[in-house]
Amino acid sequence: PGRIWLASDIHLGPDVPATCAAFLDFLGRARGQADALLLCGDIFDAWIGDDLAVLEPAAWLAPILQRLRELAQDTPLWLGRGNRDFLMGRTLAGHLGARLLPDTARLDTDCGAVLLSHGDEYCTEDHAYQRFRRIVRNPTVQRLFLALGRGTRRAIARWARARSMSANRSKHSRIMDVSPQAVAAAYARSGVDLMVHGHTHRPAVHRIEVGARMRTRIVLPDWECDHARPPRGGWLVIDREGPRLYGLSGEPIAG
């Protein structure tokens, strides 16, 4: 209830200072105008453990955590895990004064029920990715990973990134998008008319008929301010007036 702001796929990291700056800017706007801020995954381009980030945050990360903490003091902040920052956990949430979103959340908004998730669970055609996802989301595997030292975790992360980059080069773009069947199944299961997710980096407002009902699927934009001309990014506002997408400087985006 109230005015909800949602953003996803910001992919913050040490190599994208302009994106980090744009995100800090966004947090400043959200603090004055949002009744709640929901970050729907891949906020960070990599996350190898809350312990490292909270105990000894890197120079690029410290101001981001600081601003998130400040915002959470007067604006409810919800953190959703993505396919990259799936290791974000209760230590980070506690440190920020934020709450963790479940993988799929059914939100009660001023324009009805909304099904919210990161979106990678709908990419069911990408079998290699779904296999990776099952392995790294296994609690035992995660416990083992988190028991490793910082250097070893970093080395594994570097290796995983290199492997994934070379694998993605040979994947057809249809395979990297959501599966229409998976989306239809989620509508049927949940009964909602509005679904919001990120992950695919294909921002859009899709209107489709499922089970003789018009449904809307809003794909949140990814953020890229360091190499992209013009810079990309934005967020979704949901309130009594319905869902609306905004660009990085707060300008409305058609949809």
Q: Interface residues with Mn ion (CB under 5 A)?
A: 42, 82-83, 199
Please tell me the distance from the alpha carbon of residue 43 to that of residue 7, in angstroms, as a whole number: 8
Contact call for residue 128 and ligand OKV (CB under 6 A): no
In this structure, the strands spanning 4-7 and 234-239 are: antiparallel
Q: Which two tokens stand for residue 188?
A: 């049927």
Structure tokens at 240: 């009594």
175 binds ligand OKV (CB under 6 A): no
Contact status, residue 146 vs residue 51, Cβ threshold 8 Å:
yes
Q: Could you tell me whether strands 252-253 and 242-247 are parallel, antiparallel, or unpaired per DSSP bridges? A: antiparallel
Asked whether position 91 contacts ligand OKV by CB under 6 A, the answer is no
Check binding of 204 to ligand OKV (CB under 6 A).
Answer: no
Among 21, 58, 141, 204, binds ligand OKV (CB under 6 A): 141
Instruction: Return the number of the residue (199 or 232) whose C-beta is nearest Mn ion.
Output: 199
Contact status: 135 vs ligand OKV (CB under 6 A): yes
Q: Are 52 and 169 in contact (CB under 8 A)?
A: no
* 46 binds ligand OKV, rule: CB under 6 A: yes
- Return the one option of ligand OKV, Mn ion, none that residue 199 interacts with (CB less than 5 to 8 A, by type): Mn ion
Residue selected from 157, 205, 210, 253 as contacting ligand OKV according to rule CB under 6 A: 157
Output the smallest distance, CB 129 to ligand OKV, in A.
5
- C-alpha 230/C-alpha 225 separation (Å) is 8
Q: How far is the CB of 169 from ligand OKV (least distance, A)?
A: 13
Question: Which one-letter amino acid corresponds to residue 135?
Answer: I
Report the nearest approach of Mn ion to the CB of residue 1 (Å): 28
Cα 239 from Cα 249, distance rounded (Å): 20
- The three-class DSSP label of residue 144 is helix
Q: Write down how long the chain is.
A: 255
Residues near ligand OKV (CB under 6 A): 46-48, 83-84, 87, 129, 132, 135-136, 141-142, 145, 156-157, 160-161, 164
